[in-house]
Structure 1
Amino acid sequence: MSEKNHTNIATFIHLSIFSRFLIPFGNFLGPLVLWIINKDKSQFIDEHGKQALNFQISILIYSLVIGLITIPFFAFSILNGFDFMDFNLFDGIHLNISKPSPLFYIGGSLGFLAVIGFILEIVFIIKASLRARDGEVYNYPLSIKFLK
């Protein structure tokens, strides 16, 4: 197999992460299938497959941690005082929104952090794809090395 084919396969390993928008768990299944089929063909493909899977597992762990931290802040904020939203639908629409709890702001900040993380994830995936296309190895930032 030529070097061009190796770079193409490595590029598709990274780009297959975007299959999650079409297939549930496609961000794991796409790179995993391509990596398993082609990992014995070259060290280059093997390295890129491991990098892509390590990054996706790391992102999953980071997302779960942020989610587990964020959900209680929103729950305590809403359960803290029901006067945050006061709807009266029988005598017409009456809406009373008072100042939300500081916990709501903390939870919202963590949610905003998750959105920024999602955008950075897309940028890192595109950057890794371009590096693979050029025949270079790309190490994802903040990636935990599960597969070595």
Structure 2
Amino acid sequence: MDTSISKHQKNVSAVIHLSTFSKYFIPFGNFIIPLLIWTSNKDKWEFIDENGKEAINFQISILLYSIILGIVMIPIALFTAWEFIGFTNILEHNSHNVDFNFDHISSFGWNAGLISIIAMLGIGLLLMDVFCTIIATIRANDGLVYNYPLTIKFIK
């Protein structure tokens, strides 16, 4: 890496990382805005190119991990809801009886536990996204390239 990194390069790299927070205001803003800034500057400076690749790869990795958690969560949530509905007899037209037979409650507890674990993993992904992006922004402003953890290198 070139040792003479200008203040402009540091600022543009920091903005690339910081612009990933735009996903909270604009759908897919965490991909669109950093991609626009990165592609307009990647051929001019290697420092901006490296930071842009890291930021976009991390955002794609976070999206992939979130999709995997969602795919795992959907069937568990559906089966848990189905078992919860089993407590009441909703098909009776004139009366709604609550069935106090708790034979099927054991699997409900397992599913609720799995949902809690997956929810905590999702919160962990969110916190990792926020903290790592802040650290990457600070490092880019200091003239360093931050390598995000758990990042799959889609763009090399």
TM-score (norm 2): 0.82
Distance 1:42 1:28 in 2: 20
What secondary structure is seen at the aligned counterpart in 1 of 2:145?
Answer: coil
Quick check: which has more Rg, 1 or 2?
A: 2
Q: How does 1:73-84 map to 2 (within 5 A)?
A: 73-83=76-86
Instruction: State whether structure 2 residue 67 is matched by structure 1 residue 64.
Output: yes
What secondary structure is seen at the aligned counterpart in 2 of 1:101?
Answer: helix
* 1:37-56: CA deviation from partner (whole Å, max 9, x where unpaired): 11111100000000000001
State the match for 2:54 in structure 1: 51
* 1:16-65: CA deviation from partner (whole Å, max 9, x where unpaired): 00111111100001110000111111100000000000001101110000
Distance 1:140 1:11 in 2: 14
- Asked if the contact 1:10–1:129 (Cα under 8 Å) also holds between the matched residues in 2, the reply is yes
Distance 1:84 1:73 in 2: 18
TM superposition shift of 1:108: 2.1
Instruction: State whether structure 2 residue 114 is matched by structure 1 residue 106.
Output: yes
TM superposition shift of 1:84: 5.3
TM superposition shift of 1:81: 3.9
> Which of 104, 118, 125 matches 2:133?
125
Structure 1 runs (4+) deviating above 2 angstroms are 83-87, 98-101
Distance 2:68 2:15 in 1: 29
TM superposition shift of 1:126: 0.2
Q: Which runs of 5+ in 1 are unaligned?
A: 88-93
TM-score (norm 1): 0.86
State the match for 2:18 in structure 1: 15
Across the aligned residues of Structure 1 and Structure 2, the Cα RMSD in angstroms comes to 2.2
1:54 partner letter: N
1:122 partner letter: V
Report the count of equivalent residues.
140
Q: Which runs of 5+ in 2 are unaligned?
A: 91-97
* 1:48-102: CA deviation from partner (whole Å, max 9, x where unpaired): 0000000011011100001100111111111124145799xxxxxx9x9x86431
Distance 2:86 2:10 in 1: 58
Q: Which has the higher strand share?
A: 1
1:11 partner letter: A
- The 1:27/1:8 distance shift into structure 2, 3 A limit, reads same
Distance 1:68 1:76 in 2: 13
